[in-house]
Chain A
Amino acid sequence: MVKSRDLCRGIDRSDGFATLTLDLFSGSPNPNPCSYSRSAKRVRVSCASPAAAAAGENRSNLFDSLSEEVLFLILDRLESDPLDKKSFSLVCRSFYAAESRHRRALTPLRSGLLPAALARYPSVSRLDLSLCPSVTDAALASVGGALRSSLRSINLSRSRGFSYAGIESIAVNCAALVEINLSNATDLSDAAAAAIGRARNLEKLWLARCKMVTDMGIGCIAVGCQKLRLLCLKWCLGISDLGVGLVAVKCKRLRSLDLSFVPITEKCLPAVLQLPHLEDLALVGCLSIDDEGLMSVKQESKSLQVLDMSNCQHVNHTGFSSMLSKTPGLCQISLAYYCKVTHSLASSLQKLCNLQSIKLDGCEVTTSGLKTMANSCRSLGELSLSKCSGVTDEGLSFIVTKHKGLGKLDVTCCRNITDLSLASITSSCTSLANLSMESCILVSREGFRLIGQRCHLLEELDLTDNDLDDEGLRAISGCHNLCVLKIGICLKISDEGLIHVAKGCPNLQELDLYRSVGITDIGVMAIARGCPLLQIINLSYCTEVTDHSLRSLSKCSNLNTLEIRGCQVSSSGLAIIAVGCRKLTKLDIKKCYYVDDAGMLLLARFSQNLRQINLSYCSVTDVGLLALASVSCLQNMTILHSGGLTSNGLAAILVACGGLTKVKLHSSFKPLIPKPILEHVEARGCVFQWRDKPFQVELEPSEVWKQQSQEMHV
C-alpha cells in the first residue's frame, strides 16, 4: 500500500493541476507511485496496493485506504470550482465524510437549508448568509449552537428577518467569532449593537447602512469589542462624533475605519487620528466636515496609509492640504469630486514620500497643478483622473514622464487628450497594466498603434466610445496579456479586428462589445475559439449576432455572464449555451424577441447556477417562466413587456422561486397579482421594483442612439 505520506508529498508538490487521476486499481507495482511534475496539468497517482491486488470482494474499501490527510490535500486544490467538490463528495462514503469535515466556508442559498448544511459541515468557520434573504433568529440560534467553537466569520449583509436576539446568540456562543458583516440591516437597533458588543474577540465588523444604530449602540460595541481592527460605519446616519470618538478611544487596534456618509464633524477626528495603528480611513461624503474644521485638527497620524475623502462637498483644497500635512505616511489618497487640484494642494503632496496612488475623479485639474503634483510625488503607481476637467496633453505628458512606474492610469472622459499624451504614456510607462481611456475621442489610430507596440504588460484596457477601427484593434492585439478588453460603442470595428484580438489575446476573460454594431458571428466565433478562458461577454445590440455566435460561445465553458440584448438569437441558441456553459450565472436576453418557452425549458434544465436573468420583451409565457422556478439559485429577475405573461403565471413563479431577492416587474401587474402573494414573497426577503417604462417597438440604429446619447452629454 502506498504510504499516504508519499501521496501527500506528490500532491503537495504539484502546484496546479487540472486533473488528478487516482489509479487505485492498476496492480502493477510502480517504483515511483506518484508521478508528478511541477507544471503538470494532470497528475496520476497510482495506488499499487495489495488490497487492490487482492481485489474483488470489498472494492469500496479501496477508497477508504486513502487517509483523510490525502483527501484534505486534494480538497484544498478544489477550491476554484464549487461543482468539483460536489462531485468529489459523491465518490464514496469516506470522500463524502472527508468533504464534510474539510469544508470551511459555507454559502447557503436559503436559510431553509441551514439545518441540513450545519449538520453536514460541522467545522465551518466562514458562514456567508448573504444569499439568504431571510434569516430568522431561530436560524441564527441554531448556527450559534452548531458552530460553537469553529465559527469565525458570518456574513449577514443582505439578510433580513433577524433581531438582536439572534445576533446575541451568535455573539455569546461563538467565542471564536472574528468577523461579522451586518451591512444593510437597516432595522437593527442599538439593542443589536449591544449584542454585538458581547462578541469580545471581534476583529472585523461591517455595519454599513445600519441607520438605526446610534451612538449608544456604537458605544457598546466600542467598549465590548476592543480588539476591533476593521470597522465599517458607512451610512450609519445615527452615529455622531461622540460615538466615533468613543470608538477611537476604546478600540486602539483599529486599522481600518470607514466613516463614509456618517454625519460626523471634525470633532472626532483628533481621536481618530490618534489611533496608533490606523491605516485605512474613509471619510467619503462627510458633509459636516469643512475646511475650517480640518484646519483646526492638530493631531497627526503617522500610521495612516489609505485616505478616502471623496465627495466631501464642503472641503476645498485648503482643507485637503491641511489634512494631508497631518498624514505623512499616506500611500493612497482619494479626493474625488469637489476637490480643486491647485498648486498649493499639489505641493502639499510633497511631504507624502510613500504616496503611490492618487484618485482625483471628477476634480477640477489645471496643467500647472498637474505639473506641481508630478514634481511633488516620488513615484506614483496609480493615477486616476477620470472625468477631470482640464486635463491636457501637456499636463498628462508631464506627469507620466515623471512617473515611469505607473501601473494603472485612468483618463476616462478626458476628452482633450490626443495621441501626444498616448505617445508619452506609452513611451515612459512601460509597466502599465491597466489603462482606462473611455471617451477619449481625439485619440487616433496612431495612439492605439503605440499602445499595442509598447504596452506589452497591459492586462486591462478600456477603449469604450473611442475612435477605434480594425487597424487600431489589430495594433492592440499586440498586448498579449490582455484579460479585460472593453471596446463598446466603437462603431468602426468589425470582425476583422476582432479576429486579430482573438489571435493575439488568448488570456482574454472579459470582452465588452456593447453596441459595436460591426461585429457579426464570424468575429464572435473567432473570439470563442481564440479565448477559451472567456468568462464575461457583452454583445448587446450587436444586431448581426445570431444563434451561430451562441453555438461557438458554448465552447467557452467558463462563461458566466452573457449579455445579448437585442441580438437575433432564438431559443435553440439559448439552449446550446445552457448546455455548454454550465457556470452561467447572469443572462440578459432583453429584446431577444425570438426566445420563447423552449429556450426557457432548456435553460431551466441545464443552467442550475443561474442567479440573474432579464427577460424583458421576450416571447416567454407562463410555461417557460414556471420552468425557471426549478433554478434554485435564481435571485434576480427582470420581466418587463413580456407579451405572453399573465398575472397568474407571474404569481405562480413568484411563489415557486423561493430564493428570489429582487424582481423588477411592470407596474401594470401590481394590482393584478394578489396582495397576499406579494406580501408572502416580500416576507421571504424579496424586493419588488415596479417600473412603468413605455413599450419600445423598434430598436433604433446605433448611430442614431449614439447621436442621441451624445446630445444628452452636451
Chain B
Amino acid sequence: MSSGSSRLSISAVVISSLLFVSLSILSSMAEATTKPDEAAVQIVYVERPEAEEPEAFHIRTLAAVLGSEEAAKDAVIYHYKHASSGFSAKLTQSQVEQLSKPNIFGKSHKGLIFVGLGSRVFFRLYLVGPTASMDPGQALLESWGCELTSQERNSDLPNCLKGFYGRSLSSDLMFCVKNSETANRLLEDLVLEKWFSTDSGAKMDFKLRRPLEASSNASSSMMSEISRNLKPGLPFIQCDSTNICYGARQEQSFSEFPPPQVIQSRGLYAREQKTETKSQLEPSSAVNDLVMDWNPRLMLSNLSFLEQKIHQVQDIVRSIISQEGRANELAAQQQLVTADLTYIIIQLISTAGTLLPNIKNALLSATPPVGQPGVMANLPVNASQKQHEVLPMELAKASEYDELIKDLNSGGEGDELIKCLNNSVAEVSESIPIEDHDIKDYDDGLDGENLPPGSYEVLQLEKEEILAPHTHFCLICGKGFKRDANLRMHMRGHGDEYKTPAALAKPSKEASSEPAIIRRYSCPFVGCKRNKEHKKFQPLKTILCVKNHYKRSHCDKSYTCSRCKTKKFSVIADLKTHEKHCGRDKWICSCGTTFSRKDKLFGHVALFQGHAPAIHMDDAKVSGTSDHAQVGETTNGMVANMGYNFSGNASDDAQSLDIKDVDDGQGYFSPMNFDACNFGGLDEFPRSAYDVSESPFSFLSTGTCSFIPRNSEN
C-alpha cells in the first residue's frame, strides 16, 4: 500500500461561513496517527461565496488563521471550485482548530440543525411537549415571537419562511429558508441558550440539531470525488465509505417511526434495530469484498474510539447511580445512555463486519491475506486496556452488551435492548450472504414486469453501494472504476500478468451453466414502493434501475440545469437529457405550467378542467384588436407561468426535504455525541470546542429517544 506509507493523511473539515459543520469522525480517524504539530494536508470546505471569486475567498479565509495572504497562498494546494467549494492546504492541527473556531466564521451553535446546501439553509426543529400538538407553523411563529410583525403572524407563512415544510413524521418541524440573511436571523433568535435549557417550566422545548447525515451525505460524494482527483488510493477513501455511511444509513428506521405510544414504539424499536444493523453492515461488506480494502489502521482507530465511548457511558451511568433522586435528569440521561449504547453496538458490528469477509476469504483460500495477522496482532494491543473480549468478534459483542446492560440496571430499558441486540446479532449472520450476491449482478433485467411474487430472487443493495461512485476497485492501487472493463484496462498498467487475454477477457458467466435465477432488486428505502417490505412491492429490474431510482427518489437533487437554473436533478444523465431541450420548444399550458414533453402537457390538460394548451403567438400576424387581447393573454400566461414555476420548485424542494427529514430521523447518536466521542477518542487532540461532559445533558438525543419522555408523561 503505497499510500499508507506516504504518511500523508487528509482530514476534512467542513466549514460554512455561518456555522462550523465537521465530519469529525473522519478527521479524527484519519488524524489518529498524525501528531498535532505536524502539518498535514487538510481539505477545508467552505460555503460557496456568492459575490467573490472562490480562490480569493479561500485565501482570505485562510489568511485569518495563517496571518498573511502570502502564507495562505503557500499553504493552499488546490482550490475546489466546481464539484464542491473548498480548498486543500497543509495545516497543523492547531490551525485546523483555529480555522473551525466560531469566532472566525460565526458562532458555534451547539447542535443546531443546519446544513448549508447551495444558497439554502435547512433547519429542523424538534417539537416536544405541549407544542407537539400545535400547528407547526404556529409553533414556529410563537417560538419566534417578537421578530414577526402581526401581519406576518397572521399570514400562513411569513415571507422569511418561504420554504416551510410542515410537520414531519416524528412530529418535528422541518423548514428551509432560502437566503442566508434569514438564516442568520433565525440563528440569532432561536439559538439562544434558553431554547436549549431543559427547563421543565418552559412552555415549549425546542431542540435544534444538526442533521449530520445530510451534510455528510452531500459531502461524501464530493469528498470521494475530490480525494480521487487529488490522491487516488489514499486510505481516506475507505475511511470515507465506511464511516460516512453511518450518517447516511439510518433513515430507514425513522421513516416509519410511530406516533408516541409506548407499546407500539417498543415493538418497533426492535425492528428498527434490525434494519439498522443490517444496513450498517452493508457498506463494510461491500468494501470488504475487495480484500485490499481492509485497513488495520482504521480498525485500530475504530476500536480505540469505541473504547473511549464506553468509558463515557460508564461515567454517565455512574453519575446516574450517584444522583438517583432527580427524575428530571434521569430521563435525559437514560436517553443518552441508550443512544450511546446503540451507537457503540453499531460501530462494533460494523467493525466486525469489515473483518468477516476477510475471515471467510482466509478460510477458503487457506492462505490468509497478508494484512490479517497484523490486525489480529493489533487488536489485542489496543483493546487490552479495558476490553479484552473484543478479539473473537461475536463473543465480544455479546459480552460487551451484557456488561453494559448490567451497568444499566436502573435504566428500565434493558429488556428491550437485550432483545434488539440479540436480534441485531442474529441479523448479522443472515444479511451477509445476501449481500454477497449483489455485487455480481450486473447483467440482469431481461424479463417482463409481471413476474409473480416469489418467482424471482429479491436483492437489496444498500445505500452506500448505490451511491458509491465506483463499484470496481483496483486491487493494487485502490483506484475505483465505474465499469469492470475500465478496471481491466487500468490493470494492464500494473504488470504483464494483467495483459494476458485471459485477464482482459470479460469474467465468464458461470451462471450460464446453471439455470438462470431471475433477480430483482429492492430499494433500501423503507416505505418506498420499490422496497420489498411494501405491500404493493414492485421490484426494480437491474442495478442500474436501483441506482437511478434511489438517486431520483431518495437523494438530493444536486445537479442544477445551467440554463434555466431551476430544474434540479439527482442523476446526471437526467440533467444532460434536460439540458438538451431546456429552453427550447416549451410546451405550455394556459395555466402557465411549462412542460418539456408534449405528452406531459396533454396529460396535464386532460386532467384539469379548463386548462388548454397555450399556442405560441409568434407566428400570428398582428392585426386588429382581437390580437392584442390574445397577446395580452399570452403574456399573462407567461407571468402566471413564472409564478407557477416558482411554486412548483417549492414543492420539489418539499419533496427533497421530506426525504431529508426522513434522513434526519436517525437519532440514535446525535452528531454531538458523535463528535464529542470522537474528539474524546484521541487524547492528543485538543478539545476546545466541545465539552463532552455537558453535551449529553444539553442535547437530548432525538428521534428514538424523544418519545420516551412523552411516554412517561402519559
Contact = CB atoms under 8 A, between A and B. Distances in A.
Interface stretch (B167-175, B423-431, B510-518, B623-631): B623-631
A164 B623 CA distance: 10
A191 B631 CA distance: 11
Interface stretch (A92-100, A245-253, A294-302, A591-599): A245-253
Interface in B592-620: 598-599, 602, 605-606, 610-617, 619-620
Contacts of B584: none
Contact of A220 (B610, B613, B621): B613
A219 interface: yes
Given A223-B611, A245-B606, A249-B606, A168 B599 contact: no
B624 A137 contact: yes
A165 B605 contact: no
A219 B617 contact: no
B619 A191 contact: yes
Contacts of A194: 612, 615, 630
Contacts, number: 64
Given A169-B626, A219-B612, A242-B598, A164 B620 contact: yes
Given A165-B624, A165-B627, A217 B602 contact: no
A430 interface: no
Contacts of B598: 215, 242
Name the prevailing secondary structure of the A interface residues: helix
Contact of B617 (A163, A191, A197, A215): A191
A460 B621 CA distance: 52
Given A191-B617, A197-B612, A223-B612, A165 B602 contact: no
A191 B620 contact: yes
Given A172-B626, A215-B598, A242-B598, A189 B619 contact: yes
Interface footprint category on B: 20 to 34
Nearest to A217: B615
Interface in B607-663: 610-617, 619-621, 623-624, 626-627, 630
A410 B143 CA distance: 88
A242 B601 CA distance: 10
Contact of A246 (B606, B620, B624, B627): B606
Nearest to B623: A165
Nearest to A173: B626
Contacts of A169: 624, 626
A250 B599 CA distance: 16
A223 B610 contact: yes
Interface string A267-303: 0000000000000000000000000000000000000
A190 interface: yes
A162 B253 CA distance: 67
A219 B605 contact: yes
A141 interface: yes
Contact of A224 (B612, B621, B623, B624): B612
A74 interface: no
Contact of B623 (A137, A172, A197, A249): A137
A165 B616 CA distance: 15
A687 interface: no
B613 A141 contact: no
Contacts of A164: 620
A163 B619 CA distance: 11
Contacts of A216: 587, 613-615
B619 A219 contact: no
B109 to A, nearest CB: 53
Contact of B602 (A141, A224, A246): A246
Nearest to A226: B609
Contacts of A220: 612-613, 615
B602 A245 contact: yes
Contacts of B602: 215, 219, 242-243, 245-246
Contacts of B613: 215-217, 219-220, 223
Interface string A622-646: 0000000000000000000000000
B272 to A, nearest CB: 45
A436 B271 CA distance: 83
Contacts of B587: 216
Contacts of B615: 190-191, 193-194, 216-217, 220
Nearest to A191: B620
Interface string A193-207: 110010000000000
Contacts of B630: 168, 191, 194
A217 B620 CA distance: 13
B626 A223 contact: no
B623 A223 contact: no
Nearest to A223: B612
* Centre residue among A216, A243, A245 by max chain B CB count within 10 A: A216
A163 B623 contact: yes
B606 A250 contact: yes
Nearest to A141: B624
B609 to A, nearest CB: 9
A151 to B, nearest CB: 17
A177 to B, nearest CB: 15
A245 B626 CA distance: 30
Contact of B621 (A163, A172, A215): A163
Contacts of B617: 191
* Centre residue among A141, A163, A193, A223 by max chain B CB count within 10 A: A223
Interface in B217-275: none
Contacts of A223: 605, 610-613
A545 to B, nearest CB: 55
Interface in A208-237: 215-217, 219-220, 223-224
Nearest to B587: A216
A249 B613 CA distance: 14
A163 B598 CA distance: 25
* Centre residue among B598, B606, B621 by max chain A CB count within 10 A: B606
A103 B353 CA distance: 95
A243 B598 CA distance: 10
A227 to B, nearest CB: 15
Contact of B626 (A168, A215, A243, A246): A168
A397 to B, nearest CB: 51
A705 to B, nearest CB: 52
A224 B623 CA distance: 23
Contacts of B624: 137, 141, 165, 169
Contacts of B611: 223
B96 to A, nearest CB: 59
A224 B627 CA distance: 18
A163 to B, nearest CB: 6
Contacts of B616: 190
Nearest to A193: B615
Contacts of B621: 163, 165
Contacts of A215: 598, 602, 613
A197 B615 CA distance: 12
Contacts of B626: 165, 168-169, 172
A675 to B, nearest CB: 26
A190 B620 CA distance: 9
A431 to B, nearest CB: 48
Interface in B557-612: 587, 598-599, 602, 605-606, 610-612
Contacts of A165: 621, 623-624, 626-627
25 contacts: A137-B624, A141-B624, A163-B621, A164-B620, A165-B621, A165-B623, A165-B626, A165-B627, A189-B619, A191-B617, A191-B619, A191-B620, A193-B615, A215-B598, A215-B613, A216-B587, A216-B613, A216-B615, A219-B602, A219-B613, A223-B612, A224-B612, A243-B602, A245-B602, A246-B602
Given A165-B627, A191-B617, 14 more contacts: A137-B624, A163-B621, A164-B620, A168-B630, A190-B616, A191-B615, A191-B630, A194-B615, A216-B587, A216-B613, A219-B602, A246-B605, A246-B606, A249-B606
Interface of A: 137, 141, 163-165, 168-169, 172, 189-191, 193-194, 197, 215-217, 219-220, 223-224, 242-243, 245-246, 249-250
Chain A to chain B: the 6 pairs with minimum beta-carbon distance, closest first: A223-B612, A219-B613, A191-B620, A242-B602, A216-B613, A249-B606
